[in-house]
Amino acid sequence: MPQFGCDVYYYESTVYTNQWTSKPSDGVVLAESAMDVNGDNQTFAPQELVSSSHMQSRNNEAIKNKLTELYDGDFGLFFKTEER
């Protein structure tokens, strides 16, 4: 800190503030992201997963099946993944 006189010091400080914005979501993913996952370059139609949410995705058979179809290329080759 530079000193300008016997008892005079110069210092700077920063003040931070928070601004909260509330947007519709399922508790994990914003609705605006979930609705338009591929933007203008949509490679497959939205798939309905009955009785499923993002929080249930680890243990949900319906999501496992849809992801398997996606990675197998059933909805186009964009996400097709070779099996290891």
In order of 18, 55, 61, 65, 77, the CA distances from 71 in angstroms are 41, 21, 15, 10, 8
22 is a domain residue: no
Indicate the pTM of the whole model.
0.41
* Torsion angle of C-alpha atoms 72, 74, 76, 80, degrees rounded to 10: -10
In sequence order, what DSSP letters do the residues of 64-80 get, joined into one string?
Answer: HHHHHHHHHTBTBSTT-
Work out how many domains the chain is built from and give that number: 1
21 is a domain residue: no
From 24-28, 53-57, 65-69, 76-80, the region with the lowest mean pLDDT: 53-57
Considering only residues 57 and 41, tell me which one the structure prediction assigns the higher pLDDT: 57
82 is a domain residue: yes
Question: Residue 19, Cβ neighbours under 10 Å: how many?
Answer: 4
7 is a domain residue: no
